[in-house]
Chain A
Amino acid sequence: MPLARRAALVGFDCAIPRRLEALMAGGELPNFRKFTEEGAYFTEGFNLPTVTPPSWATIATGAWPRTHGVEDYYYYVEGRPLVHRETVQAFGSAVLRAETIWDRWDRAGLKPIVVNYPMSWPSSMRNGIMVMGEGISPAERRYMEKGNAHREYLAAEGIISTEIFAQGTRVEFSRARGWRNLPPGRAFADFTARVSFREAAVPLADAVWHGLAWDSGAGGGFDRFALSAEKDYSAAFFTLSKGGWSEPVELDFATAEPAGGPPRAEKGVFRAKLLEMTDDLDAFTLYVSGISGRTGIVDPPEAASAIDFSRVITANDIGLVSYLGGAVGMDTVSELAEFHSEWILNAAEGLLKSFPDWDLFYLHSHPIDWFYHGFLSDMESPDPRIRNAALELELSVYRTEDRLLGRLLEIFGDDTVTCVCSDHGATPMGPIFNTAEALAAKGLCSYVRKPSSSYWDVYEESEGYGYELELDRSRAVPQKYMFVYVNLERYPGGIVGEADYESTRGEIIDALLDYRHPETGERPVLLAVRKEDARVFGMGGDQAGDVVYALKPEYMAEHGYGFPTGESGIGSLKNVLAFRGPGIRKGLVYRRPRWLCDIVPTLCHATGNPVPRDCEGAVIYQIFEDFD
């Protein structure tokens, strides 16, 4: 007899159990607190590798990474050279080799709804509904993109400024001329900007926008700004004062079709924030959010009508890249996290209410991970201003996610067994372990400085920047986060014969284990094993390197390199795991290690619904009131 009519999973990327516990203990996060008090909470959530794509793939399939085929943030494409830069990001359903829970339930005639789940898109469901998840933010694609590249629907954020920004359009103010319907004011200045839209999944034509600044007479020089597609203030998208956000602006954006093709209009929504405007216009900076589209991101397409896209923006990466690039401050990051969460809730709510006969709901939300990548190390800063600012922002982001959780739980109702989880935790930045350096020390690989005629190139030997691997002089190639490949002759540029494979592997393992970090004098490698030995902990599949290694947690950069037991400073690599719902024991604190592959079988057991084909995890019987 099923315990629950349906199941839901709400995933908060990189939520760290000890941080969640600390915030709840401090009286914060009422919805997380209620969830854990009324359900079963796990203190030892394990997963390996501690990386986004393989973890969410495991959470969706119940299979180990060696089975579902995703073992890293990156994916090696057969036939390419082994160098890391040739790998692509491992997102989307195309890389998955295991069946997901939604595909299995869909096959059984049930109705799943999947929103922004990293390994989900494109959908192959017949009954179910999916909102694009082929990356870490909704409406973006990363599959087959290298490095950090991604494509957004419709375009990435930008800056319009008198200053120099990498993602910026530079402008210069002149005395305003030719405007109609000017507002009351004492002096007017304007610019005309040709704005290009970057990282667009569908190339967009440039737009010509006009900025108008004026002195409203409040006594402080230029203090108001408006942006418009024409020199008519009555048609302005918005009017802002310094520090203010615009309301969502909905416009038609023309696509830039290939030669001969007719352009079409794509509806997009954005917001802008006036970051800086001095009273003499000596400095002006306007942040323009990413342009959020709506076509091509919902399957089936007709289900998109259940979502009102006109008032929300995706706020991809909550402004982390702009923050790291010095364009926005932490206050803007906090605000963008809210906007991002609004978009996700808006999509989820629209679908859940329009299709109340849903049976399964899977959702992923990423702001906490972005926050930790930007600020986790700051949370331990010896400077109290930096430390406190980071702690405040952490609380702000968790509160945002708490509100999202609360709203979703209201919609789910009482007949839903819900799992709240994260994919991994994070630890503060430690000394960087340069794998190539460790291998080169034993003559296993060779690097040269990156050849460049650019004045701007920055070389930092100890951090591995600015190197090119010499494949023809490298018997070992570090790739992705935890792997080293033997550069066999069968790979492009390979130099190791098959007869030397095992001996080379042995040398690689020795080199990793022997290496002492120049900063600490200690050995940073926790474990280095043959690929087949990694199968013991769920890895070692086709996407694993010939040697699999893990680092001690104090050497990591947030997550991706070590065991889930790793703890360092304020951080931990364990993942959050909790269940609540009909038939689930209330107030249970489960202290044994459980793996993320146990989620799917547990949800299937609770609902009596079929188990996906490749599921390898175990039902967590102890969380049920009557597990006999």
Chain B
Amino acid sequence: MSDIRTVIFTADAVDRAGSAWAAASRGTVFPNFTFGELPRDHAAGGIPAASGAADALGLIEAGALLVNVASGPEGLDGAVAALEDGSPLRTVFALAAPDTLAFWGHGIAEGVAGKASAAHTDVLPTLAMVGEFLLSKAVEGRVLFEALRNPSYKQGQIGRLKAALARLEKVMKRSSQEPWDKHDCA
């Protein structure tokens, strides 16, 4: 399976008429959200911090990408558009602003208004249910299951990897048969 990328946008404000909000609201939105400190303290070493849309595209291959947009709603619209357009299909996005938390993209439920109250500490644990990045032991938040298309997504991925491993083992076994092994005329 290909890698799943994660992109997290943080901003001071979101224009509800802008393109960033249009993209984000296609997924799951949590109206009852508390935005505190930026979640950088909870990031594992594999999550680079980036500033400015100009550098963001170059860092997309590194895994989870944190994009702090300081240039206002128009800057956010531009950053979201640029990264959405340039990212592979299997990318999950999150947008956290003082009055806004939204998830969209790969593995996220569409058109959902989350009923749970959400905190900034919930962003990474929720994204980790779909994305492929490390969490540190300092994580304190919870998973916002309402945002997930399939709460057992990771288990499904593990199952598919196990199936792939079993397929490869069968092929390798068949290629090293002795005359007393099973023969299949094929």
A residues in contact (CB < 8 Å) with B: 13-14, 52, 73-74, 84, 136, 147-148, 162-167, 170, 172-175, 189, 280-283, 317, 320-321, 324-327, 366, 369-370, 373-374, 429, 432-436, 450, 456-458, 463-467, 478-481, 557-558, 560
Once A172-B88, A189-B89, A280-B106 are accepted as A-B contacts, the answer to whether A166 and B180 lie under 8 Å apart by CB is no
21 A-B pairs in the complex with CB atoms less than 8 angstroms apart: A13-B185, A73-B185, A148-B184, A162-B2, A165-B164, A172-B2, A172-B89, A173-B88, A283-B1, A321-B184, A321-B186, A326-B167, A370-B184, A436-B178, A436-B180, A456-B169, A458-B172, A464-B178, A465-B181, A478-B179, A557-B180
**Which residues of chain A are near B168, meaning CB under 8 Å?**
164, 166, 456
In the complex, the answer to whether A465 meets B178 with C-beta atoms within 8 Å is: yes
11 additional A-B residue pairs with CB within 8 Å, beyond A326-B170, A436-B178: A147-B175, A165-B167, A172-B89, A173-B88, A173-B89, A373-B184, A435-B179, A457-B172, A463-B180, A557-B180, A557-B183
B181 touches which of A324, A458, A463 (Cβ 8 Å): A463
A-facing residues in B21-46 (Cβ within 8 Å): none
CB distance from B122 to the nearest CB of A (A): 23
In the complex, the answer to whether A172 meets B166 with C-beta atoms within 8 Å is: no
What CA separation (Å) do A229 and B183 show in the bound complex? 38
Once A189-B89, A456-B172, A457-B172 are accepted as A-B contacts, the answer to whether A84 and B178 lie under 8 Å apart by CB is yes
Tell me, yes or no, whether B173 is within 8 Å of chain A by CB.
yes
Chain B residue with Cβ nearest A137: B186
Chain A residue with Cβ nearest B163: A326
Question: Does more than half of chain B's interface fall in helix, strand or loop, or is it mixed?
Answer: loop
Residue from B167, B181, B183, B185 with most neighbouring chain A CB atoms (10 Å): B185
CB distance from A109 to the nearest CB of B (A): 36
**Which residues of chain B are near A436, meaning CB under 8 Å?**
178, 180
**Which residues of chain A are near B107, meaning CB under 8 Å?**
280, 282
In the complex, the answer to whether A162 meets B174 with C-beta atoms within 8 Å is: no
Give the A-B pair count, Cβ closer than 8 A. Answer: 133
In the complex, the answer to whether B184 meets A320 with C-beta atoms within 8 Å is: yes
**Which residues of chain A are near B170, meaning CB under 8 Å?**
324-326
**Which residues of chain A are near B172, meaning CB under 8 Å?**
456-458
What CA separation (Å) do A328 and B161 show in the bound complex? 17
**Which residues of chain B are near A429, meaning CB under 8 Å?**
182
In the complex, the answer to whether A73 meets B178 with C-beta atoms within 8 Å is: no
What CA separation (Å) do A480 and B54 show in the bound complex? 66
**Which residues of chain B are near A52, meaning CB under 8 Å?**
185
B179 touches which of A84, A165, A325, A374 (Cβ 8 Å): A84
What CA separation (Å) do A148 and B169 show in the bound complex? 17
Once A148-B186, A321-B186 are accepted as A-B contacts, the answer to whether A166 and B181 lie under 8 Å apart by CB is no
What CA separation (Å) do A280 and B184 show in the bound complex? 38
CB distance from B80 to the nearest CB of A (A): 14
Tell me, yes or no, whether B120 is within 8 Å of chain A by CB.
no
B90 touches which of A148, A172, A557 (Cβ 8 Å): A172
What CA separation (Å) do A169 and B107 show in the bound complex? 24
Chain A residue with Cβ nearest B167: A326
**Which residues of chain B are near A558, meaning CB under 8 Å?**
182-184
**Which residues of chain B are near A170, meaning CB under 8 Å?**
2
In the complex, the answer to whether B164 meets A164 with C-beta atoms within 8 Å is: yes
Per CB-CB distance, the 4 closest pairs between chain A and chain B, nearest first, are A172-B2, A164-B164, A326-B167, A373-B184
**Which residues of chain A are near B180, meaning CB under 8 Å?**
432-436, 463-464, 478, 557
**Which residues of chain A are near B158, meaning CB under 8 Å?**
none
In the complex, the answer to whether A557 meets B182 with C-beta atoms within 8 Å is: yes
Question: Per-residue CB proximity of B77-108 to A under 8 Å, as 1/0?
Answer: 00000000100111000000000000000110
CB distance from B168 to the nearest CB of A (A): 6
Once A432-B180, A463-B181, A467-B178 are accepted as A-B contacts, the answer to whether A320 and B186 lie under 8 Å apart by CB is yes
CB distance from A431 to the nearest CB of B (A): 11
A-facing residues in B3-58 (Cβ within 8 Å): none
